[in-house]
Chains A and B, each alone.
Chain A
Amino acid sequence: MAAAELKIEGEGDRLTLRAVGRWTGEGAARLDRRLHAIDAKTYRRVRFELGAVEALDTVGAWLLNRTGEELRHRGLEVELANVPTTLAPLIARVSATGAPPMPTRRHPSRILHFLARIGGGTIGALRFGYDLLGFFGLVTVRILRVLAQPWRLRLNATVRHLEETGLDALPIVGLISMLVGLVLAYQGVDQLRPFGAEIYMVNLVGVATLREMGILLTAIVVAGRSGSAFTAEIGTMKVNEEVDALSTLGLDPVEILVLPRLIGLLITLPLLAFFADIMSLVGGAIGGLLLIDLTLPQFLDQLSIAVTPIMFWVGIVKAPVFAFVISMVGCFEGLRVTGSAESVGRQTTKAVVESIFLVIVLDALFSILFSVLGI
């Protein structure tokens, strides 16, 4: 097995290129350089001598063909000599096919590209808002219809979503909330100790948990695990044309796919938020016990001074709103899936990012609203 080689012999006005050995992809880099470096200025005729070629693949054949074409283009006469019969079909095929240059994508100037991206992003965001608003409208109409005709609600599907978004989320929501309660207690005690006011750690944990942390953490966890599941489930059905099948069977995809998820989450998110509140307070109580020997009755006494039922309701009232946003965005992105499996992944990522973003924005708006109302 001789390695690929090219012998260049010039004589009078004739250049002989002698190909030797295995002209295949393995040795192509060297051959490519050698062929590019051929200086044929002083010659008028070129002869490829192929008698000693041991093996040829499309790469080798392409190199021969490309070089021949270039030399011909410069006005030289090119001929192939002693082509082994077994290689002739390949050489003929490659030279008949050629490699037409592919249109390269033109890169516009950087500033133009930058502006185009800003413009594209803006239009995309506006279109997203417009489409989402339209979807809200559609779902509202369907909700009104189900209110008028309650038997239209898919009870089995709703119960399944109650289980998947609610019951199955209890361990993760509980664990996270308890740990956050514990962390708040530790930080609170640390900061309050210089003032001898460690006991107010209970106020800190209680108020922060009930007003903000409980519901916010729950909503973020649910957006991550249930919002994404909504998009992935509906998106997969979209890819399999199951959503189209529903339509052709005279079934309304919004009624069958969206409403059970929406109603399920509207019920489970407030319950989960309540559970998160309790677990976070448990975390705070454990922190108190560990850090400042605060017994449970003492903790509860201080808690009853620190918090009012209003604070609890301020937190819980946000839950249905967040549930609405998470399920809306999840289902909306699922229905926007087009064609490929790749699209399912992309829309799922978008759904999670958008719903978490919207949840936090709404939470900020609630804070402003409550502060204006003086609650």
Chain B
Amino acid sequence: MVEAVQAREVVIKVRGLVNRFGRETIHDGLDLDVFKGEILGVVGGSGAGKSVLLRSIVGLNHPAAGHIEVLGRNTAKLSGAELVRLQQRWGVLFQNGALFSALTVAENVAVPLKEHRHMPPALIQEIAALKVALVGLPADAGAKYPAQLSGGMRKRAALARALALDPEIVFLDEPTAGLDPIAAAGFDQLILSLRDSLGLTVFMVTHDLDSLEAICDRIAVLIDRHITVGTLAEHLHNPHPWIQEYFTGPRARAAFA
């Protein structure tokens, strides 16, 4: 089983990542591999640098040292045009959705299509409607503005925009935070089914123990400026006190029961 995993294609490769803010070191020589087609959950205490790791991989944050390869390309060494091409191969769902508030949901989804694909306007409309339907939003949601949607619907709309260009990797920053348990479970299932039908690789920062249990293939724990990756079962046997507290605490027991 482990060998089979090792043999899989690596789509994100992080080596020796160092991030510092002022005098504070967030990541100290961090190594991580994300395999094609898996759902990786990233957990860690507040301030452990989960979002910083995500932002470093997608190039929104320039690390102090280290080497990041996404889909075989070193993100630090790409020219502007090459980076734009690479960016089209991943989608990012920000924590609060980051939908453009002046545009309707369908227009939000159409923004990257108009910019990066030469398609007739009618086809763009159709693809936007398809993406809105793919994430499970009702047809009338497409014509609404983000402010008119509930939190859960806004997350789905933001996911539709992240999927607009059919990316190979999606980065999700706390996708279920702030959702009620039913909406959160629905979102988990949506991610799982999209992974299976669209062949996505999912990099998901989360605090949601239910998500970890339900859909993540592997879990990366950010702790003491380093990272420990493994399946849920492997983490349960890790003696580190924080990991034990995290995965066997009262909330975890309820989630994994």
Contacts and interface: CB of A to CB of B under 8 A. Distances in A.
Interface residues of B, number: 31
Contact of A62 (B106, B126, B165): B126
Contact of B133 (A26, A100, A104): A100
A97 B147 contact: no
B143 A99 contact: no
B143 A103 contact: yes
A28 to B, nearest CB: 5
Given A62-B127, A90-B197, A97 B143 contact: no
A102 B129 contact: yes
A168 B118 CA distance: 53
Nearest to A342: B101
Contacts of B127: 25, 58-59, 62, 99
Interface in B7-54: none
Contacts of B102: 342
Interface stretch (B63-71, B134-142, B204-212, B213-221): B134-142
B186 interface: no
A150 interface: no
Contacts of B163: 58
A340 interface: yes
Interface string B73-117: 000000000000000000000000000011000100000010001
Contact of A97 (B106, B118, B130, B166): B130
Q: Is the interface of B mostly helix, strand, loop or mixed?
A: helix
Interface in A72-106: 86, 89-90, 92-94, 97-105
B143 to A, nearest CB: 5
Given A25-B166, A59-B127, A32 B133 contact: no
A66 interface: yes
Q: Is the interface of A mostly helix, strand, loop or mixed?
A: helix
A165 interface: no
B128 to A, nearest CB: 8
A66 B125 CA distance: 13
Nearest to B197: A93
A344 to B, nearest CB: 12
A339 B106 CA distance: 22
A28 B163 CA distance: 17
B224 interface: no
B155 interface: no
A115 interface: no
Interface string A205-233: 00000000000000000000000000000
A99 B165 contact: no
Contact of B139 (A66, A102, A105): A102
B241 interface: no
B151 interface: no
A24 interface: yes
Contact of A29 (B119, B126, B134, B140): B119
Interface of A: 24-26, 28-29, 32-33, 57-59, 62, 66, 86, 89-90, 92-94, 97-105, 339-340, 342
Given A25-B119, A62-B127, 5 more contacts: A29-B118, A59-B166, A62-B130, A99-B126, A104-B143
22 contacts: A25-B127, A28-B123, A29-B118, A29-B119, A29-B120, A32-B120, A57-B166, A58-B130, A58-B131, A66-B126, A89-B196, A90-B198, A93-B134, A94-B130, A94-B134, A99-B126, A99-B127, A99-B129, A99-B130, A99-B132, A102-B139, A339-B147
